[in-house]
Amino acid sequence: MGSKVESYFPVQRIAQACLQCRRKKCRCTGDRPVCGQCQRLSVGQDCVYPVEASRPQAVRQQAPCRFTEQESDRARETGELSRKENADVVNKITTLEAKIENMGSSLQRIERCLVSLLDGSDQGGMGLPAPSGQVEGSSGIEFPTSEQRNRFEESQNSDTMKGDFGLPEEVFMAVVDSYFTYCQNQPYSFFHEQNFRQRLSKQDIPRHLVLAVMATAVRFCSHPYFTGPWVKVGLAVRMAQDCGLMLENATHLSYAEQEERRRVFWSVYLLDRLVSCGRGRPPAIVDASCHVQLPCAESIWRDGLWAKTQSLDEMTNRTLSVAQRQGPFAQVIAIAHVLGRCAQYVLQDFNIRGPHPPWDPGSDFAGIESDLLHFEAYLEIQRPVSEMLEPHISAEGVVDSQSTGPIIFSRALFHLCYCLLNHPFLLRRRINTCRNLAPISFIQRSSNMAWLHAQQMMALIREARKSGCSFHSSSSGYAVTVAGSIIALRTYDADSIASEQAQILLEEALLYLDIIGQHWSNVRTMVMCPTSRFAVP
């Protein structure tokens, strides 16, 4: 027993642990300037010990812990340094919190300003805030003054008719009259007419509600302002822009609803490009304002998922690799962009690159043809259309028309671009504006190119109908009419084989237009052109 008592050593306890060991909740040896634990971890700096009120410690049987005068001075200096560092940290945190709070309020003001600008409520010519409203330490960010904020709030509360809808007041009121004549109580009743007109005169009705009334009543309005679909499409464009559909600003919605908004805008864009295929019909949507990404694949949308796609600018600038090939509807939008450029060039005499002759490498003709060559590889035009449609047709012969429709339509627009660009009548008008004589080889090449794509247009429709796919949109009638006019000219070819082939294709085109004309009255009007001028002998 005596030997066991003599070999017992009590646990050595220290008066204080350093701050590093306290934070890690590990045993501290209490050595100074660096304890054993921090030395083992290679902290690289002396330990810091907090200054605390002295506590009665148990008398140790072995060597008691006593500080020399030098160690006491060092402990006091360390405590003062720790308090100073803590105070500096607290001051920095307080400063950062104040800056973050100021930045948050500033960002809210900027957001309100941007929303008001996008809503079209900037009526006082207000742009970005003046430099006088800049906050010190804001890294160059300019914020509105109190006077400018008040003007923004007033402009947000105002809802003027002309500024928001771009219609003369007489036309606007004619639309309102048409609503209460043809829509109210037939059978739905939404408004008290007298109160509605009073609130309208005071501009107290929300903009989206007025747009809904206009969308409902414009088809019944007999005002000469709405005599053609081009004007109505312009109104639809205005509504889409007013709702901000061209921006990616609906992140609070589900993925399916966000994609739905994108597709609504791109459908309006497509409609705008199609109705602009005429003289004196410039498009209403500027490509530079389309910041929303292109539609995703149909299967992704059906599953309610999200997928990152390219923007129109990225796709048309050829930054898209083959591995990143977009869905069929996105391909339709890309070709519609080229169609818009083509229509402006051949139908509206619009030059982007300058008044160069079509055979010049720097002309718009060459630029558009270059884009079409790019999309020829991207759309796999040389691949049989039946092979492209096969994955969307079941073994029982059931066709997924929502998937096959964009595939057929993108190819039809591709051939339409070539037909318009190389159409003999349109190209002759363009050449007549040039001061130089056109090379014979260029004219022959353009004529052959128009004839080739007119044949491919009819072959596309033939294969699509053979596969059981539907291609009955009103714009398909326009595409076949343009191709049919080229085919009709070819019936007068000196080559008897080409003339007979053109004769057969012309009959096929007229038959197709008769079928489409049962659904669209405007197509019946188109049939009269090739029938009267290029009647089959």
In tens, the pLDDT along 472-497 reads: 777 888 999 999 999 999 999 888 89
| Sign of the C-alpha dihedral computed for residues 365, 367, 370 and 376 taken in this order | negative
Q: Are 423 and 485 in contact (CB under 8 A)?
A: yes
What span, in angstroms and rounded, lies between the C-alpha atoms of 211 and 197?
Answer: 15
H or E element at residue 12: none
CA 87 to chain centre: 50
* Nearest alpha carbon to residue 461 among 396, 496, 411, 393: 411
> Which single residue is written with the structure tokens 């003599």?
6
Q: Average pLDDT in the 321-326 region?
A: 61
Q: Tell me, what's the pLDDT at 411?
A: 93
- The more confident residue out of 153 and 398 is 398
Q: Average pLDDT in the 494-501 region?
A: 90
What span, in angstroms and rounded, lies between the C-alpha atoms of 107 and 119?
Answer: 18
Buried/exposed 375-391: b ≥16 CB within 10 Å, e otherwise: beebbebeeebeebbee
Q: Which stretch of 83-92, 235-244, 427-436 has the lowest confidence by average pLDDT? A: 83-92
Task: Classify residue 58 as left (phi > 0), alpha (psi -120 to 50) or beta.
Answer: beta
Neighbours of 499 (CB within 10 A): 13
Residue type at 337 in one-letter notation: H
CA triple 124-126-132, angle to 5 deg: 130
Give the 3-state secondary structure of residue 142: strand
Q: Tell me, what's the pLDDT at 316?
A: 75
Q: Tell me the pLDDT tens digit for each residue of 75-110.
A: 676 667 677 777 777 778 877 777 777 777 777 777
Q: Tell me, what's the pLDDT at 16?
A: 78
Q: Tell me, what's the pLDDT at 138?
A: 40
Per-residue HEC secondary structure of 360-387 comes to CCCCHHHHHHHHHHHHHHHCCCCCCHHH
> What are the CA-CA distances from residue 119 to residues 28, 116, 326 (Å)?
65, 5, 31
Neighbours of 413 (CB within 10 A): 26
Alpha-carbon dihedral angle through residues 69, 71, 77, 81, given to the nearest 10 degrees: -170
DSSP 394-445: -TT--B-HHHHHHHHHHHHHHHHHHHHHT-HHHHHHHHHT-SSPPPHHHHHH
Residue type at 369 in one-letter notation: E
Q: Are 256 and 283 in contact (CB under 8 A)?
A: no
